[in-house]
Amino acid sequence: MSLSQSLQHRHAFICGASSGIGREIALAMAAQGAELSLCARSSGRLKEVASLCRQAGAPVAKAFTVDLEQEKEIEDLLQGLSHPVHILVNNSGGPPGGPLLEAQVDDFLAPLRRHLFAAHRLVQALVPGMEAEGYGRILNIISTSVKEPIPGLGVSNTVRGAVAAWAKTLSKELPPCISINSLLPGFTATDRLASLKQTVAGRQGIEPEQVEKNWLATVPAARLGDPQELAALAAFLASPAGAFVRGQSIAVDGGRLNGI
């Protein structure tokens, strides 16, 4: 059995690739030689990332401007996507913060479409090709909140938990040659976290610096995560060397979670 971490001759489709964790995953897989199809809502930034990926080693890096909340846009994407796809990375921005009791039913619908429903449609469309190729990797970028809900992120906790349960269920149903795993970022230095810090500061009436200090007090590594650290794990799991890791929710959180 090969323990190669190369992604040469593999085609990866990465959602939310224009910034943050998705961007770094695209670059990490490019460095391993993967052909890339990248999607996001931000056309300009996405094209820049595609160019950087080609410079990093991707033989092909195509950009698709897609809103994952829109079913028709997903279907149009699938029609234009080069096949087969060997690696699918489900990744999208999280819902706004706030207490769960204040959330209305409609507040759940958009994030469910973006995270769970879009991921499910993509999996249904791409799994037959993965099975025919004898190689498939599905990675979901969610959150440590699936193991320990984060205060003030009621809708996000709920939606992320649904994705984790969906992925675990699929891990028992997928063909042997296709694995699915979920990566759980902790406090990671992204634009999303910076925005959340401002929101929490406003809600609690404290300075953003104090919000970050409070977060880091719970992290044994005593720092924010770097998106490249999570991307390195994603590239490993997508490679032949990661074949026997299946159905797992893996925290990349500097030791913050308390569960064994």
Could you tell me what percent of the chain has a pLDDT over 70?
A: 99
DSSP label of 145: G
pLDDT-based confidence at 3, cuts 50/70/90? confident
**Residue 83: its pLDDT value, please?**
87
What would the two tokens of residue 20 be?
A: 């943050």
Kindly list the structural domains of the chain, giving each domain's residue range(s) and its CATH number in brackets, ordered by start: 11-252 (3.40.50.720)
Could you tell me what percent of the chain has a pLDDT over 90?
A: 88
**Residue 96: its pLDDT value, please?**
85
Within 8 A by CB and 6+ apart from 106, the residues are none
| Strand, coil or helix: 128 | helix
Q: What is the DSSP string of 196-233?
A: HHHHHHHHHTS-HHHHHHHHHTT-TT-SPBPHHHHHHH
Tell me: the pLDDT tens digits for 204-219? 999 999 999 999 999 9
**Residue 95: its pLDDT value, please?**
86
**Residue 69: its pLDDT value, please?**
95
**pLDDT (average), residues 236-244:** 97
CB 138 within 8 A of CB 88: yes
Does the pLDDT value for residue 1 go beyond 60? no
**Residue 200: its pLDDT value, please?**
86
Give 53 or 3, the one with higher predicted confidence. 53
Instruction: Give the distance, in angstroms, between the CA of residue 120 and the centroid of all CA atoms in the same chain.
Output: 14
Our CA angle for 177, 178, 182, nearest 5°, is 145
| Cα–Cα distance list, 60 to 29, 37, 141, 234, 246 (Å) | 12, 8, 23, 19, 28
Mean pLDDT of the chain: 95
pLDDT-based confidence at 152, cuts 50/70/90? confident
**Residue 203: its pLDDT value, please?**
86
The dihedral region occupied by 32, where left means phi > 0, alpha psi between -120 and 50, and beta the remainder, is alpha
**Residue 196: its pLDDT value, please?**
85
**Residue 2: its pLDDT value, please?**
60
**Residue 37: its pLDDT value, please?**
98
Tell me: the pLDDT tens digits for 10-61? 999 999 999 999 999 999 999 999 999 999 998 999 999 999 999 999 999 9
**Element of type H or E holding 14:** strand 11-15
Distance CA 77, CA 15 (A): 12
Tell me: the pLDDT tens digits for 87-142? 999 999 888 888 999 999 999 999 999 999 999 999 999 999 999 999 999 999 99
